[in-house]
Structure 1
Amino acid sequence: MAVTFDLFGTLVDADYPADPAEVVARELESRGVVVPDDWHVAYGERHVDAPEGAETPLPAHVAHALGSRGVDASENVVRHAVVAAFDPEVTRREGALTAVRDVAEQGPVGLLSNCAVPELVSKTLIRAGLRGEFDAVTTSVGCGWRKPHPKAFEVAADALGVAPAMLVHVGDDRATDGGIVDVGGRFVDVTETPLSAVAAELEAESR
């Protein structure tokens, strides 16, 4: 058995921008990019024809949104603007570190997070004091697939050296994190089983 944890809403709380399109626009403008007048409309449109369940990195989305309005910006500038726009205050949830360490005593432990912003997960782990606590970190922007797509769980399981059916995923959203059951694994909902009880519950079931 191996265990993965969701990050946002499960192990940490993060203060996201209330208007991400506006924050991204400000960061683009500060780097000399002319943002179109209907930016909020462009930002809200779909510009990348990706397969269902695939992750579109936010910098790619932003670059295509600009391009759809005739604005050309370098890939590097767009990436830096997006990364700067998503720089939230992070609070580690009570019992999160203990839960991860207690579970790690029973077997491999990883992180599996939906996140379209490069560097955000690694930055969040550092700020939450969780860096180095996982045997493997899998993100949707890194692997190309978002939970609940089976491939997201398959990549995470492979990174921990187990079959997907041997993976337990701990999260707070049944609609996304609960997708683990479709590959034969188990979902632990922290809205029902608090972080403080996860390790004990898994240990009792493995006996």
Structure 2
Amino acid sequence: MAVTFDLFGTLVDVAYPSDPAEVVARELESRGVDVPDDWHVAYGERHVDAPAGAEVPLPAHAAHALESRGVDASGNVVRHAVVAAFDPDVTRRDGALAAVRDVSDQAPVGLLSNCAVPELVPKTLIRAGLRGEFDAVTTSAGCGWRKPHPKAFEATADALGVAPETLVHVGDTSETDGGIVDIGGRFVDVTETPLSAVASELEAQQ
């Protein structure tokens, strides 16, 4: 058995931009990019023909949105703009650190997060005081797949050196985190089982 935790909404709370397209636009403009007048429309369009469940990193999406309007911008410039746009305040949820450490006494522990923004997960872990607490950290931007796609769970299982069906995934959203059940693993919903009870519940089930 190995245990993976979701990050956002499970271990931490963050303040997301209310208008991400506008925040990205401001960061692009501050770096000399001529943002098109219909940027909000372009940002909301699909520009990459990716398979269902695949993750398109946000810098790639933004770059394609600019290209669709005839704007050429360096990939590094777009990446830096997107990273700067998503620089949230982070609050670690009550019991999060204790839950991760208590579970780590029983099994390998990983993190599996849907996140299309490069650097956001490691930055969040630092700010939440959770850096170094996991045996493996897997993000959708890094592995290329978003929960609930099986390949997301398979990627984190591989990183932990276990079979996917032996995973227990702890999260807050049944529609995404609950996808672990489709490959034979187990889902622990923190909206029903508080973080403070996760370790004891796992121990009871062994």
Name the TM tier (shorter chain).
Answer: over 0.9
Which residue pairs with 2:154 in the alignment? 154
SS of equivalent residue, structure 2 residue 22: helix
Instruction: State whether structure 2 residue 62 is matched by structure 1 residue 62.
Output: yes
Tell me, in whole angstroms, the C-alpha distance in 2 between the residues paired with 1:56 and 1:146: 9
Tell me, in whole angstroms, the C-alpha distance in 2 between the residues paired with 1:205 and 1:20: 42
Report percent identity of matched pairs: 86
Instruction: State whether structure 2 residue 77 is matched by structure 1 residue 39.
Output: no
TM-score for both structures, normalised by structure 2: 1.00
Name the aligned partner's letter for residue 90 of structure 2: V
Deviation of 1:160 (Å): 0.8
Query: What is the CA deviation profile of residues 15-57 of structure 1, one whole-angstrom value per residue up to 9, with x for unaligned ones?
Result: 0000000000000000000000000000000000000000000
Deviation of 1:119 (Å): 0.2
TM-score for both structures, normalised by structure 1: 0.99
Query: What is the CA deviation profile of residues 174-203 of structure 1, one whole-angstrom value per residue up to 9, with x for unaligned ones?
Result: 000000001100000000000000000000
Tell me, in whole angstroms, the C-alpha distance in 2 between the residues paired with 1:205 and 1:172: 20
After TM superposition, list the pairs within 5 Å mapping 1:160-179 onto structure 2: 160-179=160-179
Name the aligned partner's letter for residue 42 of structure 1: A
Deviation of 1:153 (Å): 0.2
Name the aligned partner's letter for residue 83 of structure 2: V
Query: 4+ residue runs of structure 1 moved beyond 4 angstroms?
Result: none
Query: What is the CA deviation profile of residues 62-95 of structure 1, one whole-angstrom value per residue up to 9, with x for unaligned ones?
Result: 0000000000000000000000000000000000
Which residue pairs with 1:126 in the alignment? 126
**Structure 1: stretches of 5+ with no match in the other structure:** none
Name the aligned partner's letter for residue 85 of structure 1: A
Q: CA RMSD in A?
A: 0.3
- The aligned length equals 206
Instruction: State whether structure 2 residue 34 is matched by structure 1 residue 2.
Output: no
